[in-house]
Amino acid sequence: MSGTGHIRIGYHDLCRREILELVPTSAKKILDLGCGTGELGKALKKRQPCHVTGIELNKEAVEIAKKNLDICLCDNLNRYDPAFVDRKYDCIILADILEHLVQPWQVFKKFAQVLEEKGTVIASIPNIAHPWVISQLRKGLFRYELAGLLDVTHLRFFTKTTIFQMFCRAGLKITKITPWPNEKNPIQYHVTAKKPALKFREAIATVLILSHNTWSFTKQTIESIKTYTSTPHKILVIDNGSTDGTIEHLRTDATIYHIENSHNIGFASGFNVGLEVIDTPYFVICNSDIVVTQNWLKRMTEHLNEDPEKMSIGPRSNYVSGPQIVKNCTYKTFKELIDFAKRFASSNADPVTHFKRLVFFCTLFKSEVLRKVGYLDEIYEGGNYEDDDYCMRIHKKGFKCAIDNTVFIHHHGSQTFKQNKIDFAKSMEENGQRFMAKWGFKNMEEYFNYLRT
């Protein structure tokens, strides 16, 4: 018995009825990784017509599993390559196995490649953020046990957020995730995932959107990106613990990726969760309350690539501080916005203006910036000044930021603060003090003078 009160007996001969219920009854070719004695596969074959293949390391368990399954291989998942077998599966099961692997991310991504296009992945993964583990950590304890969350054979540990990150890296979208046995006692998460129905097979940019209880605006943002973005891209929404229905909508949209954080971890931490899974040459940091316009990403990418030292570029907007602002905008409807943006694109003689500071309401980056500069600084709690800070770091490394004068994007402005009744002025004041202390500015006037040089 572990400190959670959870008893685990017979690692290899459990049927796992709770996992059985998640497997689609339509699945005909099933792969059970870490199948034990094959009791789950045996129950599946009894319930529905299917061919079950198992892979298991324990030799004694394999001998029993061979009688319960169609095929059972005795092998080590850390080294096994599914490409050796010319077969794909419409359901892959990973029941309490990933935490035992040396490199679960690589193994999982490898096996995801043998999933049919409309196939399903079912996984159960222990939750290291369980209240009992947290209470032990507060006492300075992290003691391994014979069974349970801190099983002595566990090599890797996961939370809800890192589970989502792992699935994103494998090119899978989580459509259902449930704490088991219940929310008050979340010993593990049961996950159902599928391949997303992406518009572009090979994306060159990942558009990151951070949301927190702003679904009516987040929906507009997503729809505008889908409508007005011709450059091959994929959308990844990172949600900071929304309770307004955002999560339910994100799970049902098969055309995007998303990550669910359990709490509101703020702007910098929230975006860093998404930045850690970037695998495209470019990425966009994007607020959840904007409306993009035609060819926005195409133009910004072209202008960003004009100079190898240029690492980031931002558009002009109606609601933004500094030289990115466009005053006295005349549009009142979305149609008028699109027409306004078209006229604006051709009205500026100088397409690009170099400036030391960009506001990250919609900013494009070369992904190499993550290697050369790093991630957003998480000392800036909530939001504000993380963009000033990152631009400072870009310049300190000898790189450039720029403003694209041919792209206009509508920004509703500060909706996360407004919808959640967060004190914007207080956040600005506190993070401003952190910024000044970090970079050695005496006051804002000195900082503004620096920007003008």
Taking the C-alpha atoms of residue 55 and residue 364, their distance in angstroms, rounded to an integer, is: 43
Helix (H) or strand (E) holding 393: helix 386-396
Q: Which residues pair with 115 in a beta bridge?
A: 89
pLDDT at 102: 97
Taking the C-alpha atoms of residue 276 and residue 78, their distance in angstroms, rounded to an integer, is: 23
Taking the C-alpha atoms of residue 313 and residue 327, their distance in angstroms, rounded to an integer, is: 20
Taking the C-alpha atoms of residue 321 and residue 70, their distance in angstroms, rounded to an integer, is: 64
Q: Tell the residue number behind the tokens 């091959």, with chain if given.
A: 232
Q: Which residues pair with 314 in a beta bridge?
A: 403
The residues, any chain, with a CB within 8 Å of residue 250's CB and separated by 6 or more, are: 237, 239, 256, 258, 260
Taking the C-alpha atoms of residue 85 and residue 59, their distance in angstroms, rounded to an integer, is: 21
Taking the C-alpha atoms of residue 80 and residue 20, their distance in angstroms, rounded to an integer, is: 25
pLDDT at 239: 97
Instruction: Compute the half-sphere exposure of residue 164: CA atoms within 13 Å on the CB side of its CA.
Output: 26
User: 205-452 maps to which CATH number?
Assistant: 3.90.550.10
Write the DSSP string, 229-290: --S-EEEEEEEES--SSHHHHHHH-TTSEEEEESS--HHHHHHHHHHTT--SSEEEEE-SSE
Write the DSSP string, 286-350: E-SSEE--TTHHHHHHHHHTT-TTEEEEEEEESS-SGGGB--S----SHHHHHHHHHHHHTT-SS
Taking the C-alpha atoms of residue 446 and residue 440, their distance in angstroms, rounded to an integer, is: 10
Q: Is 60 helix (H, G, I), strand (E, B) or coil?
A: helix
Taking the C-alpha atoms of residue 266 and residue 381, their distance in angstroms, rounded to an integer, is: 6
pLDDT at 420: 61
pLDDT at 451: 92
Chain centroid offset of residue 314 CA: 22
Taking the C-alpha atoms of residue 291 and residue 433, their distance in angstroms, rounded to an integer, is: 31
How far, CA to CA in Å, does 40 sit from each of 31, 32, 93, 193? 11, 9, 10, 19
What does the buried/exposed string (b/e) look like for 33-70 if buried means 16 or more CB atoms within 10 Å of the residue's CB? bbbbbbbbbbbbbeeeebbbbbbbbbeebbebbbebbe
Token pair listed for 109: 């991504």
Token pair listed for 86: 């010319």
Pick among 3.40.640.10, 3.60.10.10, 3.40.50.150, 3.90.1300.10: CATH of 17-194: 3.40.50.150
Helix (H) or strand (E) holding 186: strand 185-194
Per-residue pLDDT of the chain (453 residues; tens, 9 = 90+): 233 333 333 556 677 999 999 999 999 999 999 999 999 999 999 999 999 999 999 999 999 999 999 999 999 999 988 877 779 999 999 999 999 999 999 999 999 999 999 999 999 999 999 999 999 999 999 999 998 999 999 999 999 999 999 999 999 999 999 999 999 999 999 999 999 999 998 999 999 999 999 999 999 999 999 999 999 999 999 999 999 999 999 999 999 999 999 999 999 999 999 999 999 999 999 999 999 999 999 999 999 999 999 999 999 999 999 999 999 899 999 999 999 999 999 887 789 999 999 999 999 999 999 999 999 999 998 778 999 999 999 999 999 999 999 999 999 975 565 566 556 677 778 888 999 999 999 998 999 999 988
Could you state, in order of their start, the residue ranges of all structural domains in the chain? 17-194, 205-452
Q: Is 356 helix (H, G, I), strand (E, B) or coil?
A: coil
Length of the chain: 453
Q: With contact defined as beta carbons under 8 Å apart, do 291 and 224 qualify?
A: yes
Q: With contact defined as beta carbons under 8 Å apart, do 190 and 180 qualify?
A: yes
